[in-house]
Amino acid sequence: MRLGEIIDKFSEPPHPKGISIDGNLVTLEPLVANQFAEELFLSNAIDTEGDNWTYLPYGPFENQSEYASWIESFEEGCDPVFFAIVSKKLKKAIGIASYLRINQAASSIEVGHINYSPLLQKTTEATEAMYLMMKWAFENGYRRYEWKCNALNLRSRAAAQRFGFSYEGVFRQMSIVKGRNRDTAWFAMIDKEWNRVETCFTQFLSESNFDINGEPNISLRSLTKPLLYKLDNLDLS
């Protein structure tokens, strides 16, 4: 009979409710409507077509009041735990993300509800925000860090692998979102992989990796791809 490895001296990792995470480019602060709703609503409004909301189970919101009410509905809860991503350069919130499916007993946690406004998309700040969240999780004892997305969301599937998450498959007909079937693609990273993935982030985010135009000399994807346990079977190049 084969059994899994024995986990010695295990203690449950802390819950992330109420924490703030400070980085070089961004700060992740607890999402509070009266502090961030206006900044986020205006930042999201730049996306006039509403493309950012395509694969999310909510939104777009008609007005700031409606958006603030949505934020307030999560403020007192413990799962998901939302963060405002505050740009130090712009001095305002320009995106959100959350921890969810927080299972302290299993030492597993997921990142999700990622909604980057056009001001945050495709920036180094966006990458650092994800790095800070996974860094907090692993440094505080979580063994498994998950990323799930609509299987049709190819940009999210590509981003997961760029950030060092290994592909684990597609759960078919997992849910119904906005009246449509959702197959969900699963990705994950485990604690045994984190040190090497963190080295990739450190190398990528280093100032020496960027030219005078702010373009990276080495892409994060080229650094993390060799480390993945399993690759997505789609062509995400």
- The full set of domain ranges for the chain reads 15-100+113-119, 143-237
Confidence of residue 216 (pLDDT cuts 50, 70, 90): very high
What are phi and psi for residue 167, nearest 5 degrees? -75, 135
pLDDT tens column, 80-112: 999 999 999 999 999 999 999 999 999 999 999
Average pLDDT, the chain: 95
State the pLDDT confidence band at 9, using cuts at 50, 70 and 90: confident
Neighbours of 106 (CB within 10 A): 12
pLDDT for 237 equals 47
Give the model's pLDDT for residue 18: 97
pLDDT digit string (tens) for 60-78?
A: 999 999 999 999 999 999 9
What does the radius of gyration of the chain's CA atoms come to, in whole angstroms? 18
At 235 the pLDDT is: 55
What is the CATH topology of the domain spanning 143-237? Aminopeptidase (3.40.630)
CB contact set of 215 (below 8 Å; sequence gap of 6+): none
Give the model's confidence band at 2: pLDDT under 50 very low, under 70 low, under 90 confident, else very high.
Answer: confident
Fold observed for domain 15-100+113-119? Aminopeptidase (3.40.630)
